[in-house]
Structures are given as structure tokens and as C-alpha cells.
Amino acid sequence: MSTAQHIRVLSVTSECVPLVKTGGLADVAGALPSALTPFGIEMRTLVPGYPQVIKQLEAAHLVAQFHDLFGGSARVLEANVAGLDLLVLDAPHLYDRNAGIYLNEDGLDWADNPQRFAALSRIASEIANGALSDWRPDVLHCHDWQAGLAPYYLSKSEAADQVRSVITIHNVAFQGLTSVELITDLEIDPADFTSEGVEYFGKISTLKAGLVYADRLTTVSPTYAEELMTPEFGMGLDGVLRTRRNDLSGILNGIDEVNWSPEHDTNIKPYKTPRGKIANKKHLQEEFGLLPSDGPLCVVVSRLTDQKGLDLLLEALPTLLERGGQLALLGSGDQTLEHAFVAAAEQPNVAVKIGYDEALSHRMIAGGDAIIVPSRFEPCGLTQLYGLRYGTLPLVALTGGLADTIIPATPATLAKQVATGVQFHPVTTNALANALAKLCDLYAEEKLWSKLQRNAMAHPVGWDQSAQRYAQLYTDLTTDLK
């Protein structure tokens, strides 16, 4: 597909690879612009000017100034970093801080997060209204609660009829909730504090604002789009999403196939076929202090949270170990889970590293036989896609993007030789234990396992198809503007 016209899109995001990252949102924001270029989409990315972002701007120039943006002056800088066309909101009173981009030194939300990200949304709306002398978007593409007020501000502005808006839900569990006492500070009309507007159980929800006022809604997998419209997964917003069912699309994330390439990865011993994993597995076992074993080496690279279902893995772990399997885990998060996995590592064939190390994550996915993703809910997930790319078979829960990206090993898919992994449902300890046993059975059949690995490595995991769907969405939105 090629679009009939050139379309300008402003991507509004709180994080973006390679500038700043806390999760998958950054990967998506960093990958989309180049993926969309072949379809006639010119995307610029608006990000906050955190210190780590400002430091990476080598040839930035001033394109807009604002004297009073939620308590201080601000400016917009234009720059190109790693091929990304950036607009950086330089507002030191909001972003010049030494701790995390969302959390302070004590691990708590910055008290002024509502203003910090309302500012990002406000500037997106100002850019849509012509704040830049030489560039104006046709579409605002807003990501998660941090940009949720941008469609709202746009809807109240003169550009409401000339610029369209899209909001993407990366994880509905994070909704940008804040006290109604800030309604004036956040420049929200009190008349819009209703169940049909920005009100969410007595608070303001910036994500809900985006869902109500954006022209179109997307999320990061087709199954998650369906799940969001149910009370079980919708986190109190399922009613809003059911109302907007016809405006909601599920578009799968992809991965950066340059950065994640077993043939060219500088963190590992490169390989083109599953046989190349043998040396990487040996090195990984040595790095984690694991001895050779008859069962599969399973890896986990994850945040340690309730969402990720890793408490179930702790309970099901004996099934894997009894079959000669091994577990190597890299992650951090909930301290109770951290301590439980460290304790589990006192037994043979279990090794745990608390923290995060990007290079190590590459070595683990290259060296593992399987990657375990037992999430209770998973909007899309990227680690299972990395696993596919590297021939590391995903064992996943049947939910969200995990359901959409893995072809489960069943009698039918094995007969057709198309399976790429193992799925389990419901998300319980018993079901996960059964899936681990099944994984060990498959691993024991060497030729079958090799075929599954080849299937996985051949499975499309890039951005081509998804970029085409985003391009079509923008085209549909802007047809009446041209």
C-alpha cells in the first residue's frame, strides 16, 4: 500500500528509544517513524526535555517559545537524533530532574506529574494550532495517559476541524489519575468533569480524556482490543471503550529487526540457523553458573510484577526442574518477588540476576531454548517477539498480544508444521505447570524442536504490516481534510 498523499503526523510520547526508555512504549515510539516513511507518512516526535534527552541534542535549534507553561517558561527545540525528527519540550521547571522520568528518588510519583504531562499535551495542541512557523501536523498520535489531554486540548482549539487525533493504549492499567482539585490548574473546563467526559470515579483521568475526545483509538494487539471492552480487563474504562467500539483498532507492535537480529547482534555469537544457538547456550550457562542439563534452558527477561504472572512460575517451577529443565531470570520490580526468586536460585538449575542489563538480555534470548511469558494480561508484549526472532520458543499465556503472535503447538499445528511456541490457559499454576511439561516433551524430540525453532525464526515480527495499518488509519482520518 502507498498513501495517496503526504501526511504529517506528530507523535506525542513521554519516552522514546534511543533517548529515554522505561518500557515498551519507548520501543514503539522509536520504531514507528522510520517504519512509516515508505507509506508517505512524515512523523515528528514530541518528547519532554529530560536531562538525558537534552544531553543527546547536538544540533538543536529553537522553533517556539512559551512564557508560561504550567508555572514556568518553556521552549521547543528541533533536532535529529539517530534518524528521528524530534521536537523536544525544554521546560526545566518540569523536566530537569536527576531521578526517574516518572518517579522521584524515593520511588514515588513526582507530585507535579499531572502538570508535567499536561504540559506535553498542551504543547502538542499548540503545534497543531500552528505554533511552528514551517510545520503543522495533520494528525496528533498520542501515546498513553501522558499524552491523554492532547486530544482534549485540541478539541477546544481553533484547529479542531483541521487536525485529527489518535490515542494508543499501551497499558490501560495506567490511567493518569489526579484530584479534581487540579481541574483549573490543568486547564480543563469544569463542565467536562462528567461521566461522559474526563471524570473517573471522582477523579480526573487523562487517559479517559484521550479515549473520549480523540477521533480514533488504537491499542497494541487485536485480542487486547477485545479484552479492553470487558470488565475483567478494562480497568473501569470498558464502558467507554464499548461505546467507542467502532473507533477502536488493535494493531500489533513490531520489533526493531536491526537491533534484534541473531545474524548481526554484537552482543552474541551471531547465527542464521537454530544450530547457532548451541554456542550461545553454552556461554549463557557458564555466565549464570549453570551446568549442562538434559532439559530446556528457559529464560525470563521481565519486570517482576503481579501483571507478569511470575508468582505462578515460582509455584510451577518444580515441574520444569524435575524434567531436567533450567531457569535463568533477569528482572526487577516487586521486592517480594525479587526475594522469592533469589531464594529459588539457591537450588540447582535456577539462576537469577536482579536488575536490568540490555546486553545481557540479548545474550539470554540468544542462548535460551525457550522464553517464558506467563502474564495475567499483556497488551502486546515484545519479549516473545524477540524470542521468535532468535529461535527461542515462547511459552506464553493465552492473553492479549501473546495470543496474537504465537502459533501454539497443538496436534493440528504440529501436523501442519506451523507451530511456533506453547500457550496455556487459564492463567493458573496448574495450567502453567502442564505447559512446562509439554515444553519438555517437545524439547525431547530433537527434530521436532528444531523445526519449531525454524518456524519461529521465519515468523514475521517486524513493523511492515503494522506500519501499513497505521498509515491506512491516518489516511482514513485525513481524507476529508485534503
269 assigned ligand-binding residue: no
Integer Rg of the chain from CA: 23
Binding-site residue positions for ADP-alpha-D-glucose: 21
Binding-site residue positions: 21
